[in-house]
Chains A and B, each alone.
Chain A
Amino acid sequence: MARLSTFRFPFRFGRAAVLLLAGAYFLVPLACAVAFSIGAGVPGRSVSFDAYTGVIGADGFTDSLTLTLKLAAATIALVLGLLVPALVTVRLAAPGLRTLVEIVCLLPLVVPAVALVAGISAVLRWGPDHFAGTPIFHVLVALQDPNFPVVLVLAYTLMALPLAYRMLDTGLAAIDLRVLVEAARACRASWPRTLWQVVLPNLRGALLNTAFLTLALVLGEYTVAAILGYRPFAVWILAISGSQAQMSVAVSVMGLLFTWVLLLVIATAGRTRRPKETS
């Protein structure tokens, strides 16, 4: 027993040390950011929450956040609208295409955002000249509408594909898709109703996680939007950091908290509401 105790002590100590180090690595920068945003530790200045209270009224905040949330909603809809039917179809009707779909979906992982936006910029520059006077010209103009730049939705959809594919593929693997679909069909459910009332409810966790990751990606994406000249939330945060550094950090902290809360909500909602097993 004595020997066992001596073995346990360093193990417990080591575990606590690792936890402490990891916690410090994560929390110290966050604490410093919060301290900076409220002016703590700055000589000659008192602690103030002005950076937080002033965010709502800050110039450009509402517009950039609204634009980002609209872009996020459209991206989530497009990602799910493309991937769910495609993955269900591949699993049910064309399992041989699974590898191809996986490669296509994971391809954006190896394409840096800068390379992606360089390609998009080239097309947007070349397109209008080439297609002037044709309907495609109007499409290209509409894609770049500053009020709602669809081009960003397309870029974000591409960027979200790898994560979304992994999430949805794992979700589909966790259910007996073929049997559920056939059972629904035998119960007189048409294809759309089968998808809507049987497949999607059983993919709730995967759908929510995909939506969350896509939202997080759109909230934090800077490169593509900045290079294409749009001003969603991430670009706005960097833009105000020069003139209002404290507010810029305050917004980032709030964004982080918002993401945590959202993650918590999704985790709770994704958990199936079932009573404990009784048999």
Chain B
Amino acid sequence: MTLQIVEPETSDRTRTGATVEFRGLRRSFGATTALDGLDLTVEPGELVALLGPSGCGKTTALRTLAGFERPDAGTVLVDGEDITAVPAHRRDAGMVFQSYSLFPHLTALDNVAFGLRMSGIGKAERRARAAELLDLVGLPQHAGRYPHQLSGGQQQRIALARALALRPRVLLLDEPLSALDAKVRLTLREEIRRLQKQLGITTFFVTHDQEEALSMADRVAVMRAGKLEQCAPPAELYARPSTAFVAEFVGVMSRIPARPGPDDGTVQVLGRTLPVDGRLPDADGTADVDAVDVLVRPEAVEVAADEEGTSRIVGASFLGATTRLAVRLADGAEVTADVPTHAMATLPVGAAVTLTLPDRPVLVDAR
């Protein structure tokens, strides 16, 4: 399964992506609020992954952009034009769905050509262009097959070709890989990314799989309860999460008990005083400011064997190049730390250790 080299004429004919803006989008379903004032701007040609737990509103945001949901309030703008009231079939947005959405009564070629037929393009031209798209997704030999004769991965490639056939301004991917097995998913996500870059289409990718989001997207928009928590490039999102929710949702976080430091904007943790990234969680006056947690990535926690140490290793999980340790502190709290596997010779389970944190600002959350 290799990606075909994109035909130059396809690239030439494809329009560049559009700017997409969500402004104060609100949408409720009965008592459930799916979107609670969502604001997000996506630049032309960008691939933005909408990431979040179930019910956070990511799919609703995508469906609102597609025209399948009407927001209760707020606007959707594409290239500055308000399309909130434009019907779905006039939005110029290609979409790939989570479930296999190919039309069962049409062959792969006819499926890809369907949108072109709806646009009134002549038979010869639409068949040629559909064949070109099938070539692009690496399935030219499956043109005459019906959906039930194709595997899940092949069906999603055809669905992608169908979405791209109309050269849309925006490409919407609603968890297109979640029904596929792990190997196909990995291959297809690389292909989607490469196609998206080659064609330069502004793309929204809804997923609940953080690895998928971090590996594919230019920026990841983490959503929670209908709102945007943070939208940033994957590396920034991982290294500098702006909220405790983002920190714990993206990647693994270790919570270490701490106390506010002597100066404003500092915290005492593991016997050191470190600056706080942001501010202490006492802004609304409801949090117990004497009991906070410092959030750090497991790989940022340094573990050193120390017979005098008050912490003890209580568990170890082999992860390949690294081993994840569970370390119990003197106060009974457990901290997760990643160490190189080769260092495990000096860090057996049961060993006394000392934990240290790097000298940089840390994220703090209420305990």
A contact residues vs B (CB 8 Å cutoff): 175-176, 179-180, 182-190, 193, 198, 201-202, 204, 272, 274-275, 277-279
Q: How far is the CA of A254 from the CA of B233 in the complex (A)?
A: 76
Minimum C-beta distance from B43 to chain A (A): 23
Top 10 A-B pairs, shortest CB-CB distance: A187-B115, A186-B95, A183-B101, A185-B88, A188-B118, A201-B105, A189-B118, A179-B101, A188-B89, A185-B89
B119 and A188 form a contact (CB under 8 A): yes
B103 adjacent to chain A (CB < 8 Å): yes
Q: How far is the CA of A184 from the CA of B149 in the complex (A)?
A: 21
Closest B residue to A198 using CB positions: B103
Given contacts A183-B103, A188-B115, A277-B148, 8 further A-B contacts (CB under 8 A): A179-B97, A183-B101, A183-B159, A188-B166, A202-B105, A274-B149, A279-B150, A279-B154
Closest A residue to B119 using CB positions: A188
Q: How far is the CA of A277 from the CA of B101 in the complex (A)?
A: 18
A274 and B95 form a contact (CB under 8 A): no
Number of inter-chain CB pairs below 8 Å = 79
Closest A residue to B142 using CB positions: A279
Q: How far is the CA of A99 from the CA of B87 in the complex (A)?
A: 29
For window 79-138 of B, CB contacts with A under 8 Å fall at 87-90, 93-95, 97, 99, 101-105, 114-115, 118-119
Closest A residue to B107 using CB positions: A274
Number of interface residues of B (CB under 8 A): 33
B66 adjacent to chain A (CB < 8 Å): yes
Residue of A183, A190, A202 with highest tally of chain B CB at under 10 A:
A183
A187 and B101 form a contact (CB under 8 A): no
B247 adjacent to chain A (CB < 8 Å): no
Minimum C-beta distance from A185 to chain B (A): 4
Minimum C-beta distance from A174 to chain B (A): 10
B249 adjacent to chain A (CB < 8 Å): no
Question: Which residues from A are CB-within-8-Å of B95?
Answer: 182-183, 186
B88 and A202 form a contact (CB under 8 A): no
Question: Which residues from A are CB-within-8-Å of B149?
Answer: 274-275, 277-279
B67 and A185 form a contact (CB under 8 A): yes
Q: How far is the CA of A184 from the CA of B166 in the complex (A)?
A: 12
Minimum C-beta distance from A213 to chain B (A): 23
| With A188-B115, A188-B119, A189-B89 as contacts: A274 and B94 at CB distance below 8 Å | no
| With A188-B115, A279-B151 as contacts: A182 and B97 at CB distance below 8 Å | yes
Q: How far is the CA of A176 from the CA of B162 in the complex (A)?
A: 18
Question: Which residues from B are CB-within-8-Å of A190?
Answer: 89, 118
